Amino acid sequence: MTAQVIDGKAFAAKVRGRVAEEVAALKEGHGITPGLAVVLVGEDPASQVYVRSKGKQTIEAGMNSFEHKLDADTTQDALLALIGQLNADPAVHGILVQLPLPAHLDSELVINSIDPAKDVDGFHISNVGLLGTGQKSMVPCTPLGCLMLLRDHHGSLSGLNAVVVGRSNIVGKPMAQLLLGDSCTVTIAHSRTKDLTEVVKRADIVVAAVGRPEMVTGDWIKPGATVIDVGINRIDAGEGKTRLVGDCHYDSCAEVAGAITPVPGGVGPMTIACLLANTVTACCRANGLKEPQ
């Protein structure tokens, strides 16, 4: 069997197109331009790339992008003061603090100081609780992107066995909540899971969010299963070059799976597309308007 490739790049382009239409309608119909503020502390090269990309795509969708770049030695008080200003600014509908923060800053405190209504990353404790209890919330972008791809591929996910490998607050746990919300039977696996291979082999849906290059191999996959690879790992490709791989070994998994997301071009592009969609949702809620479906 050769798996169907789930084209996250194409799907993300469609989501961004839909967001741009919604933004145009908000401008024309209501004179409102959704605004996203991104806060970057320090000079982590990967974070700089992400922030640039987020800013560019925000503007391409017709929204306002407010970038705040702070020195690596910014104090906690200064960062909290900036977040306070953004919380109070009616032109800002979404606030994202790029993680990881430098070690001297308390990430939990910082994230929980964002107005939950503007928390477009969905990491504020209120949004985590709302998601966990099935209430309207801001949903973390990467798991939301994975769910969109899965719904598009399967239609209904009801009753399917889903195994999420990884239990981070950013990906694994919210992913599991979303799959549960769509009536999957969900298992969360992690570094202490016994017989991980056997656990994964029972899955109709495997979501790998581990951060270990090509860890999940084809012999772990049930024939016909859907594999969603969240991992982004840069590995040595010889001759001084590097290449990006996922947490799944693509070739061997694709031989057995029914469908699989590639890396790059799978989950990655969905994350920013969902960030833009969340910003429009936040803007509609802030203005008492019907939010996009």
Q: Known binding site for NADP(+): residues? A: 166-168, 232
Residue 191 Cα distances to 25, 85, 160, 215, 225, angstroms: 47, 40, 23, 12, 22
Query: Tokens in use for 130?
Result: 């709302």
- 98, 173, 204, 229: which is the annotated catalytic residue? 98
SS3 156: coil
Inter-axis angle of helices 141-154 and 267-286, to 10 degrees? 110
- Only one of the segments 14-22, 127-135, 230-238, 251-259 lies at the binding site for ligand NDP (rule: CB under 6 A); that segment is 230-238
116 binds ligand NDP (CB under 6 A): no
| b (16+ CB within 10 A) / e for 211-224 | eebbbbebebbbee
Q: Which is closer to ligand NDP, CB of 112 or CB of 193?
A: 193
174 binds ligand NDP (CB under 6 A): no
- 57, 118, 119, 121: which is the annotated catalytic residue? 121
For this structure, is 76 an active site residue?
Answer: no
142 binds ligand NDP (CB under 6 A): yes
Q: Which is closer to ligand NDP, CB of 34 or CB of 174?
A: 174
Q: Where are the alpha helices (H) located in the chain, listed in sequence order? A: 8-30, 45-60, 76-88, 107-112, 125-132, 141-154, 172-181, 196-201, 250-256, 267-286
249 binds ligand NDP (CB under 6 A): no
For this structure, is 54 an active site residue?
Answer: yes
Q: Interface with ligand NDP by CB under 6 A: which residues? A: 142, 165-168, 170-172, 189-193, 196, 209-212, 230-233, 247, 267-268, 271
Catalytic residues: 54, 98, 121
